[in-house]
Structure 1
Amino acid sequence: MSEQWGFYFDPNRCIGCHACAIACKNRHGVDEEGVDWRRVEHVESGTFPDLTGTNISLSCMHCADPPCAKVCPAGAIEKRESDGIVTVDQDACIGCHYCGWACPYGAPQYGSDGLMQKCNLCLDTGPGSGVDSPAKQDQERPLKPACADECVGEALHVGPMDELMDRASQKAAEAFRDSDDDVNIIVEPFSGNADRTDVAEEETAD
């Protein structure tokens, strides 16, 4: 594989606005209720009164060895050799939902037609190129998938994993390297129940 694309996420910068999830729906015309290629979940830990809570933005993890592809009887799911992105051929999908049962992250989604759909990193001619979105074709700035392009707090980044590792803190990079998980997402350690309003104000000021 020439390179692997994936995600970098910093929960300390996420304000839980769901802009990433909405941008994904808008970019791909996913308008059915309950079908979410990307979603934001709130995670709580601790015991009262010492509670902490944070948000995490989730989608397909474009796993190194995707379990969804292993169980697909129709061979509709493929991991691309050029960039490691996991794609689904809806013309080949038979709607058996085996992929949904196999995926531990809830990435496969099913619309009224019963066929699997999910994050494809905004593929067109290449990662992040912006399907049917001329505004994203501006060569004056890097082309980004919709979720990262619309992230208010710049908590979510997408790109080749080696470039994302350069962005990560030492702790996040070590955790990713040492993990037994198969996923292609680097997550920064959560530093505590920080006030996210400063992130929003920072973006507004810019």
Structure 2
Amino acid sequence: MTQYAFYFDQSRCYGCQACSVACKDWNELQPGPEKWLTVYEWEKGSFPDLRIHILAFGCGHCENPVCLKACPNNALFKEEKYGAVLVDESKCKGARQCAVVCPYGAPKFASDAPGTKMTKCTMCIDRLEDGKLPICVSACPLRAFDFGPLEKIEAKYGNLRQLEDMPNPKGTKPCFIVQEHSSKKELIPYNKTQALELMRSRGDLGTLFESIEDVTKVEGAVRNTRLKMKHASGRDLLDATRSDNG
């Protein structure tokens, strides 16, 4: 069996969602939590040293896919030509054991209703058979993705299969090679004291900015503060991926 793999360069991705939208469009998926290609966003640090982290992920099409063994109906299988992990929807009964064991949240469901069949990334085998790249790879305007035989992807980009809070890859061996973003560089020095004085000069701000800590101490976050790939419900997934529109 030839194993194909995805490559994702975190430094190139800015979360435009083009890959996710293209995936839904190509596969005719309805708006909502059935996101075969999911774009995760989370924040690290605090102002002025704040950074948004992004991961676009569909399925690792693992070399050791634990979802196959977990399915009580044998609905999942690994096809031979590309090594894609696929689901036979005619056999799926919506048991969701695949979702329980998959550390990457790859199994997706259109709703939380019992018995809803699982769907997932297909590696765009229909496109591969026509000599085309997966739609997410083709749709990315910044070329954050690449795709090809695993050995060629590893030779070109290395063998890193884990970013930050991603699950340990040793057990499942996902065919998803990653490149972490580079360290943040300070291009213009930021003077916190001067910035605080500037804010005060704008008028009476009450107790909004009394000290430097008021603008640098973390007391909460609008976004998630860490990567979360497994979700308890469709609502939870939508909250974790920002877009209520699917």
Q: Same fold (TM over 0.5)?
A: yes
| Aligned residue in 2 for 1:188 | 179
Residue pair 1:43, 1:56 contacting (<8 A) in 2 also: no
Residue pair 1:100, 1:108 contacting (<8 A) in 2 also: yes
Q: Secondary structure at the match of 1:29?
A: coil
CA radius of gyration, larger in: 2
1:56 shift after superposition = 1.1
Q: Secondary structure at the match of 1:22?
A: helix
Deviates more, 1:22-31 or 1:185-194: 185-194
Residue pair 2:161, 2:174 contacting (<8 A) in 1 also: no
1:43 shift after superposition = 3.1
Unaligned runs of 5+ in 1: 130-136, 195-206
- Decide whether aligned partners of structure 1 residues 184 and 11 sit closer, same or farther in structure 2, where only a CA change above 3 A counts: same
1:105 shift after superposition = 1.0
Q: Find the aligned partners of 2:132 and 2:159 in 1 and give their Cα distance.
A: 28
- Decide whether aligned partners of structure 1 residues 162 and 100 sit closer, same or farther in structure 2, where only a CA change above 3 A counts: same
Identity %: 35
User: AA paired with 2:160?
Assistant: A
1:114-152 Cα offsets, whole Å, 9 max, x none, are: 00100001122xx624xxxxxxx5xxxx51111001001
| Aligned residue in 2 for 1:133 | none
Q: Mapping of 1:56-135 within 5 angstroms?
A: 56-112=55-111, 114-124=116-126, 128-129=128-129
Q: Find the aligned partners of 1:175 and 1:110 in 2 and give their Cα distance.
A: 29
In angstroms, what is the RMSD of aligned CA positions? Answer: 2.3
Q: Find the aligned partners of 2:22 and 2:184 in 1 and give their Cα distance.
A: 26
Unaligned runs of 5+ in 2: 163-168, 186-246
Q: Find the aligned partners of 2:43 and 2:149 in 1 and give their Cα distance.
A: 30
Q: Find the aligned partners of 1:92 and 1:16 in 2 and give their Cα distance.
A: 35
Residue pair 1:11, 1:187 contacting (<8 A) in 2 also: yes
Q: Mapping of 1:16-31 within 5 angstroms?
A: 16-31=15-30
TM-score (norm 1): 0.77
Q: Mapping of 1:153-168 within 5 angstroms?
A: 153-168=142-157
Q: Secondary structure at the match of 1:51?
A: strand
Residue pair 1:148, 1:154 contacting (<8 A) in 2 also: yes
TM-score (norm 2): 0.65
User: AA paired with 2:119?
Assistant: Q
Q: Determine if the alignment matches structure 1 residue 10 to structure 2 residue 33.
A: no
Residue pair 1:16, 1:40 contacting (<8 A) in 2 also: yes
Kindly indicate which of the two structures has a greater share of residues assigned to strand.
Answer: 1
1:193 shift after superposition = 4.2
| Aligned residue in 1 for 2:160 | 175
Q: Find the aligned partners of 1:53 and 1:128 in 2 and give their Cα distance.
A: 33
Deviates more, 1:66-75 or 1:104-113: 104-113
